[in-house]
Structure 1
Amino acid sequence: MPRAGALRRATPEDNVLSQTIPAAASAAAKVAPMTPQGPAAETDVTSETLLARILASLDDDKAEDVVTIDLRGRSSVADYMVVCSGRSSRQVGAIAEKLMDRLKEEFGRVCKVEGKDQGDWVLVDTADVIVHIFRPEVREFYQLEKMWMPGAAGFGAGRA
Structure 2
Amino acid sequence: MTQAQSVSAAAGTRPAAAVVAADLHETDLHALVLAQLDDDQAQDVVSIPLEGKSSIADHMVIASGRSTRQVAAMAQKLAEKVKQSGFGPVRVEGLPAADWVLIDAGDVIVHLFRPEVRSFYNLERMWSFETGEAAGGRA
Q: Calculate the TM-score normalised by the size of structure 1.
A: 0.68
Match of 1:101 in 2: 80
Following superposition, the deviation at residue 158 of structure 1 comes to 2.3
Matched residue pairs, number?
116
SS of the aligned residue for 2:89 comes to coil
- Given the superposition, is the C-alpha separation of residues 57 and 128 from structure 1 closer, same or farther in structure 2, using an over 3 Å criterion? same
Which AA in structure 2 matches 1:109?
G
RMSD across aligned positions (CA)? 2.0
Following superposition, the deviation at residue 108 of structure 1 comes to 4.7
Structure 1 unaligned blocks of 5 or more: 1-42
Match of 2:53 in 1: 74
Which AA in structure 2 matches 1:100?
A
Match of 2:99 in 1: 120
Percent identical residues? 53
* Residue deviations 1:23-64 (CA, integer Å, cap 9, x gap): xxxxxxxxxxxxxxxxxxxx9461110000000000010000
Match of 2:33 in 1: 54
Q: Calculate the TM-score normalised by the size of structure 2.
A: 0.77
Larger radius of gyration: 2
Query: Paired residue for 1:139, among 90, 106, 118?
Result: 118
Alignment of 1:65 with 2:73, yes or no, is no
